[in-house]
Structure 1
Amino acid sequence: MQNTSDILIFWAVVMARFFVPLSIPKYPLPGIIASLLLDAVDQTIFQLFTDLPLEGYQGYDKALDIYYLAITYLSTMRNWSNLFAFKLNRFLFYYRLVGVALFELTNLRLLLFVFPNVFEYFFIFYEAVRMKWNPRVLTKDKLIITAAVIWIFVKIPHEYWIHIAEMDTTDWIIENPANAVILIAWAAVMLGMAWWLLRDLPPMRPGFSVAAHHATFNFDGPQAARVRDNYTSKRFFDDFIHHELIEKIVLVSLLSIIFAQILPDVRANDFQLAIGVSILNIINTELSQWLARRGTQWRSIVREFIVMSIVNLILVLLFDFFLARYEGSIDLLNTLFFILLLTLNVTLYDRYRRVHIWSHIAITNLAWPKRKN
């Protein structure tokens, strides 16, 4: 029987893994490193300080991994000034997300090797550069080479080690301490490659800041109206909304599929899950899109999160009710936790996508042709 201290430790770790990633948009590098460390040590904490059966934590662990990776990607909409770096990182994020979704549907570990998590390390590289340089000094060639180096020399060996060979690095070093030398040499080679990539950049600026800075815009306020007055922008404005909607559908669909597949204690067939995910996807996308048009200040974002949480709570309760009529069931508490993660990701998407549009479209006047007199 689980004692009180075990439960307290469990929820302390889960809450840390929930709240720490929320620091990533404001403090990208410390936030992502802290999230990585928590992901690395959480199960060790449980092994050392509790008697909990870790099998029950696997679903939470996978969901929290995807949750903090999604927040990491969404923070690039808020913060990144290098547009090519953003587009490349967006591809790397969705490439990994597709791989995870396929893995959860098929349980083929090879898919995690074929769809490596290059995105996370590329993000760390960019944010490390940003602390000492304007990231716009990173050319397309440097960014592509960086992604290729991470893909080939970092993530392919790492994904093979974990998902194909299924080996544990700690156990490997304990079995033969000399193996640590191999890891040190490998790390030195990676640092050498990083130096080679950055060797011809301009001089570093004095000091550094771990906090990201961005401008907050009211996408539907007077400033947007002035942009529309000065440009034949209504069509382009609607195009951007359309593209935003498409990406949101993709994001919500992939997150919903992954969360639905890793939910513990679910007694539902694939068709029932598909119906539930589809309904959740449609309502979340349409409702959050409608709410997002009403403003992007913190007050409206909090309101959106509350409204979306209530709507999703009702949807889960209805799904649970109807599923029971067809000899299925879900663990209500677990499902609500997963839905909370999804709701927060969708809410942050609504906020930061609009900031990204203003930063790279409206302010720079890119793709906004002037009105003909």
Structure 2
Amino acid sequence: MSVDVVFWGVVLARFALPLLIPRYPLPAIVCCLVLDGVDQTIFQAFGFDPPFYQSYDKAMDVFYLSVAYLASLRNWTSQAAVGISRFLFFFRQVGVVAFELSGARFLLLLFPNTFEYFFIAYEAIRSRWNPARFGFAFWAFLAGAIWVVVKLPQEYWIHIAQLDVTDLIADTSWFGPLLAVAVLGLIVVVLFVVRPRLPQPDWTWKLSADPLPTAIDEAHERAAFQAAHRKVFDLAAVEKIFLIGLISVIYGNVLPGVRASSLQIFVSIAFFAVINSAIGLWSARRGRSWDSAAISFAVVFATNIVLVTVADLLLRRGDLALVDTLFFVFLFSILTMLYDRYRPIHDYRATHTPKGADA
């Protein structure tokens, strides 16, 4: 099998799998995590060891974590958990951007990817218990425990010590058995110490996302909510700018054909985000909406292609790199489409959550 086929097959899988997270949060993100862990091994098995793997890996990570964050806006009923996840997500994104601009590995330790495991923990809890029964203190303690106990050692292992589990098992005779004993010990602790102390489950296993609130589960209802509560430039627009702007800066530092500076990329994304917000609000106020995510994406993608082309003609540059431009328009459009579909659901829940419910 061609190395190129393997590489692009893995890249395609790392783009496609995250799109399942909004509907199947726990199984989909676990699959993304597993693929993230084995993709380098797959490359090496076919004799391909890309020197740009570190940047490529971070770029793939931020895409599926961005979709996971947007899924939390769609699905999570605990406003406290959403607030904590928002901080953890953007904190990590800032760290990855700083790493891409400086190349300093210690920044990935200072800005650990706590969000990913917090997302998994929330969804694991939701699969058996109602998240509404847990308050802010519980979710904050959970996030802190993941940060200190899990992520700091892991980030040090990967990015500072630069150790690899596969290599250690192959090179060190005692490491494999020790790891197996540690995993077995963890299973025993979970089964015989943690499990008996867990509260009675609220329901049987739920691996798919919960139904949306009936008052906003259709596209025309979300459009009406946006028309009534959104402005062209508001806090939601600012969040969208930083969400898509930071990930675009990261990809801009990975893709070899990009000539724009990080600041130029971010400012361009901010400009198009505001224009998209204006178009989306105009459309919502006229009651235009699409229930199909595929149709919504096609409309947003086509609109942004036109906007980029017109902007290039007005600026009289004429030097658009076709592949890179299409990639950034694709990235921008899919995240914009998901954000505009899911943010109203979060805002609706926030305005209808009784005060003190997440205390």
TM over 0.5: yes
CA distance in 2, matches of 1:279, 1:350: 19
Alpha-carbon spacing, 1:206–1:312, altered in 2? closer, same or farther (3 Å): closer
1:341 equivalent in structure 2: 331
- Residue in 2 that maps onto 1:72: 68
Partner of 2:199: 202
* Residue correspondences, number: 346
Q: Distance in 1 between matches of 2:6 and 2:82?
A: 37
**Aligned twin of 2:266:** 277
Q: Superposition pairs for residues 10-21 of structure 1, below 5 Å?
A: 10-21=7-18
Cα distance in 1 between the residues matched to 2:270 and 2:207 = 35
Instruction: Pick the aligned partner of 2:6 from 5, 9, 13.
Output: 9
TM-score normalized by the length of structure 1: 0.79
- Unaligned residue ranges in structure 1 (runs of 5+): 229-233, 368-373
Look up the SS of the partner of 1:219 in the other structure. Answer: helix
What is the aligned partner in structure 1 of residue 250 from structure 2? 258
Give the superposition deviation at 1:255.
Answer: 1.8
Specify which of 39, 54, 70 is matched with residue 42 of structure 1.
Answer: 39
| Range with bigger deviation, 77-86 or 35-44 | 35-44
Tell me, what secondary structure is at the counterpart of 1:156? helix
Q: Over aligned residues, Cα RMSD in angstroms?
A: 3.6
Provide Cα deviations, 1:145-198, integer angstroms capped at 9, x if missing partner.
211111111110111111111111211222224223554565545985899788
8 A contact 2:258–2:324 mirrored in 1: no
Whether 1:360 aligns to 2:350 is: yes
2:80 aligned residue: 84
For residue 276 of structure 2, the aligned residue among 287, 308, 312 is: 287
Counterparts of 1:89-238 in structure 2 under 5 Å?
Answer: 89-184=85-180, 187=183, 188=185, 192=189, 202-215=199-212, 216-217=217-218, 218-221=221-224, 224=225, 237-238=229-230
Structure 2 letter corresponding to 1:24 = I
Amino acid at match of 2:3: D
Report SS of the residue matched to 1:310. helix
Specify the code of the residue in structure 2 equivalent to 1:287: N
Find the aligned partners of 2:315 and 2:302 in 1 and give their Cα distance: 20
Match of 1:371 in 2: none
Counterparts in 2 of 1:251 and 1:320: CA distance versus 1, 3 Å: same
**What is the SS of the residue equivalent to 1:277?**
helix
- CA deviation after TM superposition for structure 1 residue 62, in Å: 3.2
Identity of aligned residues (%): 38
Residue identity in the other structure for 2:257? D
1-structure distance, mates of 2:231, 2:355: 14
Q: Structure 2 regions of 5+ residues with no counterpart?
A: none
| 8 Å contact kept, 2:109–2:152 | yes
AA of the residue aligned to 1:141: A
* 1:57-68 mapped onto 2 (5 Å cutoff): 60-68=56-64
